[in-house]
Copies of this chain bind each other. A is one copy, B any other.
Amino acid sequence: MALSRLNTFTTKSSLFRQLPQNAKCLSNLILGEPSGPSVKTPIPGPKSKEMIAELNTIQFANTVIYFTDYNKSIGNYIVDVDGNVLLDVYTQISSLPLGYNHPDLLKVLQDPDNQRTFINRPSLGLFPGQGWPQKLTTSLMSVAPKGHTQVTTMACGSCSNENAYKAAFMWYRNKQRGGAPITEEENSSCMMNVAPGSTPFTIMSFKGGFHGRTIGVLSTTHSKAIHKLDIPALDWPIASFPRYKYPLEEFAEENKAEDRKCLAEVEEEFERFNKAGKFVAGVVIEPVQAEGGDNHASPEFFQELQRITKKNGAALIIDEVQTGGGATGKYWCHEHFHLPEPADFVTFSKKMLTGGYYSLPEFSRLIVCAIASRPQQGYRIFNTWMGEPSKVLLLDKVIEVIKRDNLLSIVQASGKKLMDGLMEMSKRYPQHVKNVRGIGTFCAFDSSSAEKRDEIVAKLKEKGIQSGGCGDVSLRIRPALVFQPYHADIFLHQFEKVLKKIKTV
């Protein structure tokens, strides 16, 4: 579907009108989508409540929003067990590339040859299946960030980051060794968690960042106390991430100063930790801090961060777990930044269906060479499964559909529609909609307080919109890649209904 075809439905006048009459025929990316949301019961409804109570007997289930009917959910619409139909702009915490029950993905499952891929899960580092290199090539490598020729698959976002950190540590130590062989003391000491085999190396992260919840990456996560409270943490450097004033064009100077302040902190932390012998092997950063509140930073900030990181001999690890896979209108959000050189690592998961990371060739090479006595020994970045072929099989189809249906163009068009609409709302309801920001459909705004934000999310649900919060006061919009400008209209229409009813404190 070309952009021009989409544009016929995205005239300004349509923005706040009633739901379009021709809704059904417009959403032809996925046949069978309803014409709009419909809410029949309070949410969670009686059936959901019953199931939550049931689940609560075997695990803590009070986080459950509602039970979902995944047979009836379709495209951009999530259907709950009480029959409520919601336009989903949260999409399982931004992890559904093509929405629900995409027909092309169903076809993948119906192919008998493919079915075997789902029941014969290999240990990919030992016994990969026939066709695995080709499958990696047509899927992950076909959308690799420029300059990235290497990919390692993992199961989820946390372990993708954990393993990128580990590869950075090995690479850094190898540089430090300068070709000297591993000593017996290194081998024996690491078994007892002490130097010299266990290194005092660190990863620098940013306030507000989120990189996962296993104990290593949790030390680089700083978005909410609830994620970290009571858990031991590593003493690793933490710098400030820019916090901009909006609208950007009005605060250009202040925001540039903010960049400089944060970059100066990065330099200081490098110096402080390197001087103390706690060498900074890597810097991890999200292109947009998502969980932490959709905090954006300028291309110039990222360009300069790359320069400082390189100058200090560390690896730049760009965490695209939430931003990757197309929602910003490019496969990788950091492509918007025009970095002078490729990042050292780009990690992914969520919309990519498989976890993993891209890396520059030197990281594969140096990890291996680190074992001087057995240069071909591997097993350093390794685990039982190393990801899963069935995820890559599905991803392969997702990427084919993205290309075939020009979904990145659709994201750009829908994103423009969303952003224009949100900007308009921020003018009409400035007390509730502040600091509108976004790239593609990866959009957010701030409310006046956590309570107001939660109220908006709750009232949107009553109007048939599933959204989600992030940070302290932000609401994030994370639709699937099949979210069209027409869907943005529906969202904005319902959103305004909510805003009209929210009281100013």
Contact = CB atoms under 8 A, between A and B. Distances in A.
Interface string A207-220: 10000111111110
A151 interface: yes
Given A158-B214, A385-B156, A232 B120 contact: no
Interface in A203-239: 207, 212-219, 222, 224-236, 238
Given A115-B110, A225-B187, A232-B169, A67 B132 contact: yes
Contact of A229 (B149, B186, B368): B186
Most buried by B among A51, A119, A172, A182: A119
Contacts of A378: 60, 62-63
B101 A109 contact: no
A154 B183 CA distance: 37
A101 B123 contact: no
Contacts of A81: 130
A70 B117 contact: yes
A384 interface: yes
A211 to B, nearest CB: 12
Contacts of A54: 133
A62 B376 contact: yes
Interface residues of A, number: 131
A410 interface: no
A172 B101 CA distance: 43
A338 interface: no
Contacts of A11: none
Most buried by B among A67, A200, A235: A67
A249 interface: no
Given A69-B129, A200-B232, 18 more contacts: A55-B136, A60-B381, A73-B120, A92-B384, A105-B119, A106-B116, A109-B109, A109-B115, A109-B119, A110-B115, A118-B390, A155-B156, A157-B383, A158-B214, A162-B215, A197-B229, A198-B232, A216-B216
